[in-house]
A and B are shown apart, each in its own frame.
Chain A
Amino acid sequence: MLTILFDGIAYGMLLFVLASGLALTLGLMNFVNLAHGAFAMAGGYVTVILVNRSGFGFFTALPIAFLASALLGSLFERTLYARVYGKSHLEQVLFTIGLVFMAVAAVDYFLGSQQQFAQLPEFLQGQFDLFGVGIGRYRLLIIVLCGVLTVALQLLLSYTRFGSRLRAAVDDQRVARGLGINVNAIFAVTFAFGSGLAGLGGALGAEILGLDPTFPLKFMIYFLIVVTVGGTTTITGPFLAALLLGIGDVAGKYYVPKFGAFVIYTIMIVVLIWRPQGLFARAAAR
């Protein structure tokens, strides 16, 4: 049972890293980016190609995956997304759905539709025993890495000038602009950073979540759940939501395999009816 908890936590933290970028962009620009998963997929595929086909080390590939996705995000943001900011939610949704479809088809075309696996280094494979609990080495790495990233993210937001500007812009964009904060620049950086995080998450998650061209579509709902249940005004909100989701999903699939997937969808629907602004969001008026 503790193993399940452990696996669930690993899964949840991975989801958090993947979805954190989406939470930031949604909270900052009220922009619904359904194509977020595509950047995660990009990171995953970059890692797979580097490790499997170009002989890079796993740990060398990870930051490259981050950078590649961040660059990709930055490119798309400046050229395409920036033109869609002022448009209605429907149009933003259509736009990002369009991007997802294109990404999925493109990856399928160039890299095939089979699931990809990254070659993990020796010491990360397998489990070891800790007080009778089976601890997967790779999952332990994920928990450690994601934990570090989460703490770093929180520190960044709370203690840096950039972080405080970002929080101000999320809180009230108009006032932030009035104070002279360059919201567009903040958004460009945040979008790139969030895409990078997604890419890193995709790289780490390839082993656990399964990497194939349909990845952005399969996990779109998970990211959206994290963001809507967790709210977009804090970091801890999505973090807790991701953990809840990860543990719920793993436990659900183990204990009630027939209803495994229902658990999370039902949680989501129930939460959204009960508290449309998210489970953990501050009750701030928008």
Chain B
Amino acid sequence: MPVVLETIDLEKNFDGTLATNHVSLAIEQGARCALIGPNGAGKTTLINLLTGVLQPTSGRILLDGRDITALRPHERVRLGLVRTFQINQLFAELTPVETIGLAVSERSGAGGDWWRLVGRKPSIVDEMAEILDRFHLTDVMHERTATLPYGKQRLLEIALAIACRPRVLLLDEPAAGVPEAERHDLLRIIAELPQDVTVLLIEHDMDIVFSFAKRISVLVNGALLAEGTPEEMSRDPRVRAAYLGEDADA
């Protein structure tokens, strides 16, 4: 399978702190990868670099072989690189319908339309309905996001990313804080993502990592410590040393 997302010697220096230390990753199309590491290893920083929220001090990022290092975040989304946030980043005052509708509109190119009224394009509405249904949000879809229970908000967070029809999906601790009941639902939805979507998962929960990922990358102190299959990583002495005593919920 061709490499769809690649970083070349990526480095991020915050006034002396090396948050990302010469990271070179290569992710194949359709892969199911996980990025793990102790707290403070720089996982979210890496996601921020990949999505353009932060600019690297040096190094390059390639999407489908194309250098996207200089591209703004929204431009990367247009190319299919989408992420979710560890702490929900939603639109508190908008309803799920409006939120999903926004993503679908933007993706289909109608986002800048200032004359047509929202909800008049059947194809967009159909797609919205399908996504809201798939993510079990139909019972709350007309309520303000701020009033939704946390589990529903988390589902919306993921649904929003899916609505952008990502080619590469970066999930930052998707199950964080989700109550046990909804967790199962969420994980099933992630497992059922189409095969042509490449998924990189950041997670602390090893059960999720082992059941989902075919390939694991271990990040420690901003640098890639090891990469390989889940079995290889669980046997790797360096990985065990990095984690022993540091992973509280394994």
Contact = CB atoms under 8 A, between A and B. Distances in A.
Interface of A: 283, 285
A283 B15 CA distance: 9
Interface string B2-41: 0000000000001100000000000000000000000000
Contacts of A285: 14-15
Contacts of B15: 283, 285
B81 to A, nearest CB: 25
Contacts, number: 3
Nearest to A283: B15
Contacts of B14: 285
Interface residues of B, number: 2
The 3 closest A-B pairs by CB, nearest first: A285-B14, A283-B15, A285-B15
A79 to B, nearest CB: 33
A283 B14 CA distance: 11
A39 B14 CA distance: 40
A256 B86 CA distance: 56
Interface string B205-237: 000000000000000000000000000000000
B48 to A, nearest CB: 13
A233 to B, nearest CB: 14
Nearest to A282: B15
Nearest to B14: A285
Contacts of A283: 15
A285 B54 CA distance: 13
A283 B16 CA distance: 13
A29 B15 CA distance: 25
Interface in B97-155: none
A201 B150 CA distance: 53
A283 B13 CA distance: 14
3 contacts: A283-B15, A285-B14, A285-B15
B61 to A, nearest CB: 22
Interface string B177-221: 000000000000000000000000000000000000000000000
B18 to A, nearest CB: 16
A285 B19 CA distance: 15
B97 to A, nearest CB: 27
A285 B13 CA distance: 13
A156 B15 CA distance: 28
Interface in B64-118: none
B72 to A, nearest CB: 17
A277 to B, nearest CB: 14
B8 to A, nearest CB: 26
A222 B235 CA distance: 66
A113 to B, nearest CB: 45
A181 B42 CA distance: 31
A135 B132 CA distance: 77
A285 B14 CA distance: 9
B140 to A, nearest CB: 28
B49 to A, nearest CB: 16
A63 to B, nearest CB: 43
A200 B15 CA distance: 39
A80 to B, nearest CB: 30
A21 B24 CA distance: 49
A228 to B, nearest CB: 22
A285 B15 CA distance: 10
A285 B16 CA distance: 13
A285 B17 CA distance: 13
A285 B45 CA distance: 15
B13 to A, nearest CB: 13
A171 to B, nearest CB: 14
A283 to B, nearest CB: 8
